[in-house]
């Protein structure tokens, strides 16, 4: 097969391991001797059940998920969970209050959606820019909240928690869409974790929800049935047709993660890759500027500006054009913030990050 020359630094859907794509290609027409494609397979068939169960088993193994947690494979994306979380959990306490940390676009959207279903308390003063995590000593947590919600990695702004928030026993909920399985996580500290697959663990279409069993069964009566964790848990994610092919691809990616050393190895690699880029930014005397506080810089999404703090549009365009000529694509920052963003999910290799680092150095030299 012709080797792909393109390096995809996209924020999601994102690069998949080439070996996964090749396996999916080989199995596309005739999956495991069944004579049909996974795309054509009944979700009630024993072959698909095997795929679903293998995917769950791998996930449980990789994250050491305790037995008192259910794993659900749902549709609706991360955004679907912005609604599903309050619909299922805000009724845990009678006054329907939940605490939110708002550290970027995605947690802001989640908090806004949750306001439809209860009283949402943002526990810290509003941030004037999404470049930091307010010090936990300044959080005003409500001890009788139904849950505390945060986004572990803000994909647009490149802000990542490198610690697990302490909630004094209140249920902790985390959106890990953009750093899922990029490092080890102690699942037992969480009531619920969710993640869309299309960044670190597969393709678009499936969202994983890992939820502690005692939190299931408290949905508001208006909760749509497809978002009701109780129904989906009882039906093993098969209440309705699940995203079969996306679950299959996730299984292949999880297998790849396992064969490449699991979450600990991913963490090591992700630290190395992101350090390559941050080191160049820090050594550039302000030519490259990352606005995020060092302590919460994301290892998944590295946002930066070129030329000056607020970015020089012409230089940034030239940088992106040059990158594209070298086969490096999807480096443009999110439309709401501009600039450059390099996403370095699990499938991005050290060589890929090295190629970007080399180009950044070269570009800086040319413009000194």
CA dihedral 13, 18, 24, 26 (to 10 degrees): 150
User: Residue 196 or 339: which CB sits closer to ligand PLP?
Assistant: 196
- Region near ligand PLP per CB under 6 A, out of 14-22, 75-83, 335-343, 358-366: 75-83
Could you count the other beta carbons within 10 Å of the beta carbon of residue 28?
Answer: 12
Determine contact, residues 306/364, Cβ cutoff 8 Å. Answer: no
Q: Is residue 155 part of the contact set for ligand PLP (CB under 6 A)?
A: yes
Query: CA-CA distance, 183 to 178, in Å (whole number)?
Result: 11
Query: What character string, x for contact with ligand PLP (CB under 6 A) and - otherwise, covers 266-285?
Result: --------------------
Q: Is residue 316 part of the contact set for ligand PLP (CB under 6 A)?
A: no
**Residues identified as active-site:** 106, 175, 199
Q: Is residue 12 part of the contact set for ligand PLP (CB under 6 A)?
A: yes
For residue 99, the cross-strand partners are: 121, 148
What is the DSSP-derived secondary structure letter of residue 32? G
- Please identify which residue in 17, 78, 158, 339 interacts with ligand PLP, judged by CB under 6 A: 78
CB of 300 to ligand PLP, least distance (A): 9
CB of 179 to ligand PLP, least distance (A): 8
Determine contact, residues 340/320, Cβ cutoff 8 Å. Answer: yes
- Please identify which residue in 56, 175, 228, 352 interacts with ligand PLP, judged by CB under 6 A: 175
Angle at 267 between CA 262 and CA 270, to 5 degrees: 120
Query: CA-CA distance, 305 to 338, in Å (whole number)?
Result: 8
Q: Is residue 177 part of the contact set for ligand PLP (CB under 6 A)?
A: yes
Length of the chain: 368
Determine contact, residues 117/87, Cβ cutoff 8 Å. Answer: yes
- Region near ligand PLP per CB under 6 A, out of 72-80, 238-246, 314-322, 357-365: 72-80
At a CB cut-off of 8 Å and minimum separation 6, what does 222 contact? 87
- Please identify which residue in 34, 54, 79, 349 interacts with ligand PLP, judged by CB under 6 A: 79
Determine contact, residues 316/360, Cβ cutoff 8 Å. Answer: no
CB of 84 to ligand PLP, least distance (A): 11
Q: Is residue 303 part of the contact set for ligand PLP (CB under 6 A)?
A: no
Query: CA-CA distance, 265 to 341, in Å (whole number)?
Result: 24
Q: Is residue 196 part of the contact set for ligand PLP (CB under 6 A)?
A: yes
Q: Is residue 178 part of the contact set for ligand PLP (CB under 6 A)?
A: yes
Query: What character string, x for contact with ligand PLP (CB under 6 A) and - otherwise, covers 98-137?
Result: --------x-------------------------------
What spatial distance separates the first Cα and last Cα of the chain, rounded to whole Å? Answer: 41
Residues that bind ligand PLP (CB under 6 A): 12, 77-79, 106, 151, 155, 175, 177-178, 196
């Amino acid at each position: 097969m012709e080797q792909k020359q393109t390096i995809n630094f996209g924020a999601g859907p994102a690069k998949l391991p080439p070996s996964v794509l090749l396996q999916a290609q080989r199995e596309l027409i005739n999956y495991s001797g069944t004579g049909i494609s996974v795309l054509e397979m009944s979700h009630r068939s024993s072959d698909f059940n095997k795929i679903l169960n293998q995917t769950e088993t791998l996930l449980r193994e990789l994250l050491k998920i305790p037995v008192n947690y259910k794993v659900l494979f749902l549709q609706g994306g991360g955004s679907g969970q912005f609604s599903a979380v309050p619909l299922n959990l805000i009724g845990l306490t009678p006054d329907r209050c939940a605490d939110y940390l708002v550290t970027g676009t995605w947690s802001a959207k989640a908090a806004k959606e949750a306001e439809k279903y209860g009283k949402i308390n943002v526990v810290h003063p509003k941030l004037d820019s999404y470049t930091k995590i307010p010090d936990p000593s300044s959080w005003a947590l409500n001890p009788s909240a139904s849950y505390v919600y945060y986004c572990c990695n803000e994909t647009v702004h490149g802000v990542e928690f490198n610690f697990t928030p302490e909630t004094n026993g209140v249920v902790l909920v985390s959106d890990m869409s953009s750093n899922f399985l990029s490092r080890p996580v102690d699942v037992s500290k969480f009531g619920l974790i969710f993640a869309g697959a299309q960044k670190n663990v597969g393709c678009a279409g499936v969202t994983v929800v890992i939820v502690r069993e005692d939190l299931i069964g408290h949905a508001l009566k208006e909760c749509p049935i497809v978002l009701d964790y109780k129904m989906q848990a009882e039906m093993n994610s098969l209440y309705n047709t699940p995203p079969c092919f996306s679950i299959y691809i996730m299984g292949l990616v999880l297998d790849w993660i396992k064969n490449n050393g699991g979450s600990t190895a991913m963490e090591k690699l992700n630290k190395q890759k992101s350090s390559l880029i941050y080191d160049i930014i820090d050594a550039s005397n302000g030519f490259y500027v990352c606005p995020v506080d060092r302590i919460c810089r994301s290892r998944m999404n590295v946002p930066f500006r070129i030329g000056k703090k607020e970015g020089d549009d012409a230089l940034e365009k030239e940088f992106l054009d040059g990158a594209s000529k070298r086969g490096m694509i999807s480096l443009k920052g999110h439309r709401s913030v501009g600039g450059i963003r390099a996403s370095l999910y699990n499938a991005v290799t050290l060589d890929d990050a090295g190629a970007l680092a080399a180009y950044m150095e070269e570009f800086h030299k040319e413009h000194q």
